[in-house]
Chains A and B, each alone.
Chain A
Amino acid sequence: MSNKVIVLGEAREGALRNVTFEAIAAAKQVSGGGEVIGVLAGDAVKDLAQEMIHYGADRVVTVEHPNLKHYTSDGFGQAFTAVYEQEKPDAIVFGHTALGKDLSPKIASKLASGLISDVTAIEGEGEDAVFVRPIYSGKAFEKVRNKEGLLFVTIRPNNISALEHDAGRTGAVSSVAVDISNLRSIIKEVVRKSTEGVDLSEAKVVVAGGRGVKSADGFKPLEELANLLGGAVGASRGACDADYCDYSLQIGQTGKVVTPDLYIAAGISGAIQHVAGMSNSKVIVAINKDPEATIFKIADYGIVGDLFDVIPLMIEEIKKIKS
Chain B
Amino acid sequence: MNIFVLMKRTFDTEEKISVANGKINEDSAEFIINPYDEYAIEEAIQVRDEHGGEVTVLTVGSEESEKELRTALAMGADKAVLINTEDDLDEADEFSTAKIVAEYLKDKEVDLILAGNVAIDGGSGQVGPRVAELLGINYVTTITGLEIDGTSVTITRDVEGDSETIETSLPLLVTAQQGLNDPRYPSLPGIMKAKRKPLEGLELDDLDLDEDDVEAKTETVEIFLPAEKEAGRILEGDLADQVSELVTLLNKEAKVI
Contact = CB atoms under 8 A, between A and B. Distances in A.
Interface of A: 73-74, 97-98, 101-102, 104-106, 108-110, 112-118, 130, 133-149, 184-194, 199-201, 204-205, 229, 240, 246-250, 252-255, 257, 261-262, 272-273, 276, 279-280, 282-285, 291, 296-305, 309-310, 313-314, 317-318, 321
B172 to A, nearest CB: 8
A105 B125 contact: yes
Contacts of A282: 254, 256
Given A248-B179, A255-B178, A318 B120 contact: no
Interface of B: 11, 13-14, 16-17, 19, 24, 35-36, 93-95, 98, 120-134, 138-142, 144, 158-169, 177-179, 216-226, 229, 231-235, 239-240, 242-244, 246-247, 249-251, 254, 256-257
Nearest to B133: A109
A136 B120 CA distance: 6
Contacts of A254: 13, 35-36, 120, 178
7 contacts: A115-B94, A133-B123, A144-B219, A190-B162, A205-B257, A310-B242, A318-B257
B135 to A, nearest CB: 10
A313 B223 contact: no
- Counting from the closest, the 9 A-B pairs by CB-CB distance are A114-B217, A105-B129, A109-B133, A184-B138, A114-B218, A247-B179, A194-B161, A109-B130, A300-B232
Contacts of A285: 246, 250
Contacts of B257: 205, 229, 262, 318, 321
A318 B141 CA distance: 39
A135 B223 contact: yes
Contacts of B129: 73, 102, 105-106, 109
A300 B229 CA distance: 9
A303 B243 contact: yes
Contact of A272 (B14, B219, B231): B14
Nearest to A114: B217
B158 A140 contact: no
B178 A291 contact: no
